Amino acid sequence: MVSPRFLPFVAALSLSVVVLFMPQSGVPSSWPGMDKIVHLGLFALLAVTGLFALPRTPVLVGLVGYAVLSEVLQGLLIVLGRSADVVDGLTDVAGIGLGWLAYRVVSGIRSR
């Protein structure tokens, strides 16, 4: 049986696959820059849930790799109407950093 501490990370990872690889036609229209907020929040969520489930270094390195790979794949999946964007990748990494900071704050509060 899977440990309950892994379930939020698995759910966040599943959500990220849907959001990052959804055909462009299925993406709701929104204001300019909203996609950057989504990338930032999604990777922050992945970092926080991953850090509570797994060791720090593999999670952080793995998420940076996932950020790069997801952008490369979006660039290759032209049939989905997606495209690679370096700024999205950088925003993903910023989200990982934000998630790491949030994890540090929350885990510090919990240990008191």
> pLDDT for 9-28, tens place per residue?
999 999 999 999 888 766 66
CA–CA dist 87, 44 (Å, integer): 16
- pLDDT(32) > 90: no
Type and span of the H or E element at 33: none
| pLDDT for 22 | 86
Q: Provide the 3-class DSSP secondary structure of residue 93.
A: helix
**Residue 78 — pLDDT band, cuts 50, 70, 90?**
confident
| pLDDT for 1 | 65
User: Residue 85: how many CA atoms within 13 Å on its side-chain side?
Assistant: 12
Among the listed ranges 27-36, 39-48, 80-89, which one has the minimum average pLDDT value?
27-36
